[in-house]
Amino acid sequence: MFANGGTANYGGYATTDADGGYGLLGENTSTGTGSQYGLYGRKAGATGTGTGYGVYGNATGTGTTNYGVYGSGDGATTNYGVYGITTTGGAAGIAIYGVNNSTSSGVSHIAIKGETTSACTGGTGYGVYANASGSSASNNYGVYSTAVGATNSYGVYGEGATASNSYGVYGKSISTGGNCVGLYGSKTGNSSGSGYGAYGTSSGTGATNYGGYFTSTGATTNYGTYSTTNADGGYGLLAENISTGTGAQYGLYGRKTGATGTGTGYGVYGTATGTATTNYGAYFTASGATNNYATYGTSNADGGVGVFGENTSAAAFSYTNLQVGVYGSKSGALTGAGAGLGYGVYGSATNTGYYNYGGYFSSSGASNNVGIYGAGTQVGVQGGGATGVYGITANDGGKGCFGQNASTGTGTQYGIYGSKTGNTATGTGYGVYGTATGTGATNYGGYFTATGATANYALVIPSGGGNVGIGTITPTSILQVVGLPVYANNAAAVAGGLTAGAFYRTGGDPDPVCVVH
């Protein structure tokens, strides 16, 4: 059959008006081993500026459903409802191309729809299955989708609804070559709104919803999720929870479960290694609630740590090159009556165990080890509770608690300031209490030095500061010394072991206090 010269030319034209009728039916009943075609359409020759179709199907009736092309495959080892192939070189070849240019409103417009509805016992059902395996191409795309022009345009939209394990979009790479990507999303170009490389949402009423669920196993290094950005103000990973419910709401939730073996398990692991002015391995803020916790850590394991910070830098020390395991900072003005208190670091321990530490600090391994180091314009370290501040170190030269004030201003500056306020009731209040009970050669309950100023005072009790007792905890005068040795004279005191500057008394009446010379 041949047609030429008309406005519309049909090489073959078949029509029927019968129910269940076929305008054109092609059938091949061969049982041979070659290729067998029920219906074969081919467009050959130069198309010029027009469009060539191997097979063109069009359905425009007013029935319930119209199929431009309907394909079914059954009975063979591998069955294809529709199978498209192109071998064109140089030009852009499309194996299957679907277009929907309907302008109807209120309905879905689908260019290509793939559906599998039968039970696949032991097998796998694919609504659409795409494979790109050429070895000479620069890029292979199993599926390449674009969407433009609508209010909401989706390059790929996937939905999983009825199966036990349903995937809206499922991507898998089994390549053993270079970078292998199961699912790749990219947003390029200028967006006046929000651009998403990949956008996932889960809103069903099931037990658990995952907007995105990622898992990685088998490699030397496995990342469940890996995200990166090189934009100013960009976020490698941004998680947001806008729920207004009453339950627990997590912007980002990280969990490590299962036996870690000899390695280390991280619920959330953050690292910042760029050469910028400031790097934050993790940066947290909390605002707007009655109680706001920028970081909240909890552990119910023996030896567990609610929040653990570690700095392994080996850079040389300087006051502008500090290495901090955990850094807490409170900034901003607290104004108005009852404005509250600002804490750079706040620790509280309220369990009924044997010991509670509001803050526990340990330092070892350096030339100078400081269990706790506090610096502030007013209070470097302030603690409250059964043990306000407790510092411990096991190193020679280590300091359990170290306070330093490096201010060069004109006001009063305190290295360590101890204050006891409030009603003590029947107990005893101590501004500073020091005790040394170790088995070393020498113990000092308190050791004070003052150097470098115009006037240096190691210890001062100001007028009205209270009575001072040595050898007694209940002094009855400005200074009371109990327990001075008794010697008749200086020679007897020296013979008794006292050295120059030591005090003794004679035991007479009156009973003078003498100084060994």
Residue 103: what pLDDT? Answer: 77
Residue 98: what pLDDT? Answer: 77
When comparing pLDDT for 151 and 326, which is higher? 151
Phi-psi region of 261 (alpha: psi -120 to 50; beta: other; left: phi over 0): left
Whether 382 has a pLDDT exceeding 70, the answer reads: no
Instruction: State phi, psi for 490 to the nearest 5 degrees.
Output: -65, -45
Chain centroid to CA 248: how far?
Answer: 17
Q: Cβ contacts of residue 351 below 8 Å, gap of 6+?
A: none
Q: Cβ contacts of residue 506 below 8 Å, gap of 6+?
A: 486, 487, 488, 489, 512, 514
Could you give the 3-state DSSP secondary structure of residue 464?
A: coil
Q: 388-426, pLDDT tens digit by residue?
A: 566 666 667 767 677 777 778 788 887 777 777 777 677
Whether 229 and 236 have beta carbons less than 8 Å apart is answered as yes
Tell me the sheet residues that pair with 469: 480
Q: Strands 373-374 and 402-403: what pairing?
A: parallel
Q: What string of DSSP letters covers 327-391?
A: -----S---STT-----SS-------SS---SSEEE--SSSS-BS-EE--SS-S----SSSS-EE
Nearest to 387 by CA among 400, 404, 368, 369: 400
Tell me the sheet residues that pair with 486: 505
Q: Strands 468-470 and 402-403: what pairing?
A: unpaired
Whether 512 has a pLDDT exceeding 70, the answer reads: yes
Calculate mean pLDDT across residues 109-131: 72
Calculate mean pLDDT across residues 349-361: 70
Residue 76: what pLDDT? Answer: 78
Cα dist. 233→14, 91, 278, 284, 314 in Å?
Answer: 64, 41, 13, 15, 29
Whether 448 and 458 have beta carbons less than 8 Å apart is answered as yes
Helices and strands, counts by H and E, the chain: 1, 8
Specify the residue for token string 């009975």.
75
Q: 9-61, pLDDT tens digit by residue?
A: 777 777 777 787 777 877 888 888 888 888 888 777 776 677 777 787 877 77
User: What whole-number distance in Å separates Cα of residue 199 and Cα of residue 215?
Assistant: 17
Residue 483: what pLDDT? Answer: 94
When comparing pLDDT for 360 and 98, which is higher? 98
Residue 2 pLDDT level (bands cut at 50, 70, 90):
low
Residue 468: what pLDDT? Answer: 93
Tell me the sheet residues that pair with 443: none
Residue 186: what pLDDT? Answer: 75
For 161, which DSSP code?
-
User: What whole-number distance in Å separates Cα of residue 378 and Cα of residue 405?
Assistant: 9
Q: Where are the domains of the chain?
A: 1-28+37-228, 321-330+341-424, 464-517
Residue 485: what pLDDT? Answer: 96
The secondary structure element, H or E, covering residue 397 is none
Residue 337: what pLDDT? Answer: 52
Burial of 55 (0-12, 13-18, 19+ CB in 10 A): exposed
Nearest to 387 by CA among 430, 427, 425: 430
Whether 511 has a pLDDT exceeding 90, the answer reads: yes
Calculate mean pLDDT across residues 193-198: 75
Cα dist. 396→54, 70, 112, 291, 392 in Å?
Answer: 88, 85, 76, 42, 12
User: What whole-number distance in Å separates Cα of residue 261 and Cα of residue 282?
Assistant: 26
Nearest to 360 by CA among 438, 308, 431, 420: 308
Whether 317 has a pLDDT exceeding 60, the answer reads: no
Q: 246-281, pLDDT tens digit by residue?
A: 887 877 777 777 776 777 777 777 777 777 777 777
When comparing pLDDT for 387 and 142, which is higher? 142
User: What whole-number distance in Å separates Cα of residue 107 and Cα of residue 256?
Assistant: 45
Q: Count CB atoms within 10 A of the CB of residue 81.
A: 13
Residue 101 pLDDT level (bands cut at 50, 70, 90):
confident
When comparing pLDDT for 117 and 485, which is higher? 485
The whole model's pTM is what?
0.44
